[in-house]
Structures are given as C-alpha cells and as structure tokens.
Chain A
C-alpha cells in the first residue's frame, strides 16, 4: 500500500536507535585509542629487520637484493667491511624511508635469508617529514620473538626451515 513504506522505514530506524543501547551488534563503533581491534596475522604495512641473538648480528647479509627489487627504491644498504677493507656479510647501514615505502611486501618476498619482514606497527606519525620517517638500522632491527608474536604461522615455518638448514651437513665443495 502506498504511503506505508514510510512508516515501515520509521520503524526500522527507531528499532536501531533503541537497540544501540542494548546490543553490541547495533553499536559497532570501536572507540579507537582506548579500545582497538587486534590486527590480523597477514596484515602488513612497513618492513623491519629480524635478528636472532643480538642486534649486532642480524640475519641480513647486505646482499642488496631487496634494495634492487624495491619498486619505489626506498631501501639503501651499505655493506660493512673489516679493518683491511675486506667486505663483511653484514650491513654497515640499512635505511628505509617510510615516507616512500608503498607497503608492497616485495622485499619480504625476495629476501633469500628471511631477514626482512612486514610489521604490524601503524601508529607512525612524526613531526619531521624527512628525518623522522627515515628509519635507520637501530630502529628497524627487531628480535625474532617480535616476529613470532605478530605472525606466529610464518615465524614457525621459517624457524623450522632455518633449523633444518643448520642441521644439514654442508654440501661438499666442488662436484
């Protein structure tokens, strides 16, 4: 009957009004700073570096693959060298410009040493546009426990893979 749709609609809205006082389904707002939703495990936004024992000894070997693959070229790596100038398998400096990073996760995909992963941290507001969003090695390095905490499925898989690799005898050199 024409005209009664208005009344039906009014009934729906007033039901929603009263239900908002009694049912959580009818008041879905999350009051963000005080309460927050837990991040999904596969959520990713910015990369970080993993170390196993000490931050001086990261998994990263400064191979520069991630820096070459990075589409917006936000990663800059300088290889460390010893006193005689012989290159070492660790980065002297590892910088990621978070203001350029586009959260694609390609660095994580291509890293052959499982050293770089995408983090769950999203409250990254800073006062400086350039210096403060340039993350150096000290801010990027996080322990493996952190990785285990935020992404347990990936972390256990990768830990198992790394453990298998260390137990296997080194392949014979030559032939």
Chain B
C-alpha cells in the first residue's frame, strides 16, 4: 500500500518501455508526474472550499452547503459551472493585459511548489537539493502577481490591498525563512526528502523544544503568507471592499481562489514535512499520513478563520517584527545549543533558552496600559 502510486507509475513506464525509445519513456514519466499534480492541486482546492464552508458553518451553528448532492458534495462542481458562465468584467481604465495576466500567472507558483512536496516514500516529483529554498522562493512570488492584479485594476481599493499584501509579505518572509533555519542546521540539507528521512522513528522535530517553537512560528508565518484570516488584510472585506480582487469576476476570481487554497494546502504539507515528520508514521501508508497531517493543519487554519477577527495593520507589523522575528533568532540559538551538547543535556538547555525567550518577549510585548487615574478631590 505504501508504494501504491510509485508502483503504478513504475508499471506504466515498464509497459511503455516495451515499444518506445528511452527518451519517450522519460517524457512519459515527466508527464505522469505533471498530470498527477495538475489534477491533484485543483481537485484539492475545489474540495477545500467545501470543507471550509462546512467547517465554518458548523462553528456558526448552521449546516453549510448541503443541497447539491449528498452532504453538498457536488457543490464545488456547481460553483465551477457558475464561475465559468459568469460575465467577465474588465474595468474601462484597467491595464487589460496585466489584468488578464495576473490571475493566470498566480496559479503557476502555486502549482510549481507541489513539485518538492514529498507525498510519501519515493513520492516526490523532483528531489531538488534546494527543495526548501525552491518552496520559499516560489511561494513568495505569489505576492508579485497579487500586486500586478491590484495595480492593473486601477481601483484605489485594489491598490490598497496590493500595498498591504506587499508590506505583509516583506514582514513575514523573514521570520518564515528564519523559522526553517534550525531544521536546515540539524539536517544539513535543503532537500525535503532528506528532512523527512532525518525524522524517521518518531524523531519528529516538533518533539524538541526548538522544534515546537519553530513549528508554531513556521505555521503562523505560513498562514500570513497565504493571506488567510487573521492575516487577510490584502482582501479585508470590511475595509477595502475585496482588496486586490475587487475588480475580478468569474473565472479570473476563481483562479485567485484556486491559488490561495492550493497555497494553503502546500504550506500545510511543507510544515508537516519540515516539523511533523512528513509521511513518517506507524501502520498507515506514508501518503495517507502526509494527507492527514496536512488536512489537520488546514483545519486549524479554518478554525482560525472561524474564530479570529482581522489584525489591525500596526498589530500585524508589530507581531512580525517585535515578536516573531526575535523569537525565530533566539530559536536558532536554541537549536545550535541542542546540536552542540550530548543527548540529555541538550534538551534541558534548549528548553531553558526557549522558555526564557518566550518569557522575555511576552513581557516585552505587553501592551502599555496606563494606570487608572484616581481623583483625590473630585467626587464622582
């Protein structure tokens, strides 16, 4: 079961090898991987929309979509038909080419990062030696297309959303990269496959003191990177209409959503890969373990969405620069100490460092509450 999809691909290639030259077999191998990702990504996105609507609906004491098919299972298809048949409106003052290009191009990085996600043992499209770097670099290019969309719409609300998106990306990219650094130090490789293999036998990095902090940091910054609540300032409905996609309708709008949901799936998969042991786990096949872990993280994102209101802009910036960034730096120090000492001592030392860091940052970040004024002469 563990190697189900690997064996399936392998047998197809052997069958093709009987009557095709070698270069054609390589081409087919690439095509199979690409097709699998290109089908898996959008289908995941379609059903994530349904999952989110059901989950948030239950949080708000209602059913969520339950009319189209059993439990609303055909709702994504109905939404797709609706999106395709909607009128495509382009504002008169818009930059037509860029307005068209942005939603198309934003899907490309979202699909490309699937290439380095190790779905199971031997189940990675390309085992790049710079896998994590590839993921971080590509996922941050999404913001460029968000800004292109915002600029091309020629709408002040869109532009404000785009500016917010860029400011947010610049702030959160730094703690995000720094929160992965401890793992790279310990594993000594950028490759996602090597990172998963380093965590075999319940040596998940989340079970170490620095790993726990790194996991929370990476996950929170990841949520901020994919612009989901409570970090959804670029599309804050109550403030700037719909942010960067104000002027988009129909399938172009759906493409933005597709990119957003695929990004939230890949960020969950990468967080599980880096800190939660990836496809490692007992009894069940590896690919199932990765999906379980990723969906658990996605459900936490939806749980955030059902609970938390949006950050104010200064709170968002303060959280990144005053809390996440110093914590990520101190976490690297804790991981270095963990590496330098022997087994029982290193856990204790790095736990102390992490606890101290949390304590100091917690008290340094307390809001400055003025004392309640006591009137000595005035009578209430």
Binding site for B on A (CB under 8 A): 2-3, 6, 9-10, 12-14, 16-17, 20-21, 26-29, 31
Contacts of A31 in B (CB 8 A): 63
Question: In the complex, which of the residues A3, A10, A28 contacts B307, with contact meaning CB atoms closer than 8 Å?
Answer: A10
Q: Check if B61 sits within 8 Å of A16, measured CB to CB.
A: yes
* Of B12-20, B26-34, B52-60, B329-337, the one touching chain A: B52-60
Contacts of A17 in B (CB 8 A): 55, 58-59, 306
Q: In the complex, what distance in Å separates the CA atom of A9 from the CA atom of B308?
A: 8
Q: In the complex, what distance in Å separates the CA atom of A40 from the CA atom of B106?
A: 53
Q: In the complex, what distance in Å separates the CA atom of A2 from the CA atom of B362?
A: 9
Contacts of A20 in B (CB 8 A): 58-59, 61
Q: In the complex, what distance in Å separates the CA atom of A26 from the CA atom of B62?
A: 8
Contacts of A10 in B (CB 8 A): 303-304, 307-308
Q: In the complex, what distance in Å separates the CA atom of A28 from the CA atom of B60?
A: 10
Shortest CB-to-CB span from B70 to chain A, Å, is: 14
Q: Check if A3 sits within 8 Å of B303, measured CB to CB.
A: no
Binding site for A on B (CB under 8 A): 55, 58-63, 303-304, 306-308, 362, 366-367
Q: In the complex, what distance in Å separates the CA atom of A9 from the CA atom of B55?
A: 16
Residue from A9, A20, A28 with most neighbouring chain B CB atoms (10 Å): A20
Q: Check if A13 sits within 8 Å of B61, measured CB to CB.
A: no
Q: Take A13-B303, A27-B63 as given contacts and tell me if A2 and B55 are in contact as well, using a CB distance cutoff of 8 Å.
A: no
Shortest CB-to-CB span from A101 to chain B, Å, is: 32
In order of increasing CB-CB distance, the 8 nearest A-B pairs are A13-B307, A20-B58, A29-B62, A13-B59, A17-B58, A17-B59, A9-B307, A13-B306
Q: In the complex, what distance in Å separates the CA atom of A29 from the CA atom of B54?
A: 14
Q: Check if B61 sits within 8 Å of A28, measured CB to CB.
A: yes
Q: Can you list 6 A-B pairs, Cβ within 8 angstroms, ordered by A?
A: A13-B306, A14-B59, A14-B303, A16-B58, A29-B61, A31-B63
Q: Check if A27 sits within 8 Å of B62, measured CB to CB.
A: yes
Question: In the complex, which of the residues A2, A3, A16 contacts B59, with contact meaning CB atoms closer than 8 Å?
Answer: A16
Contacts of A9 in B (CB 8 A): 307-308
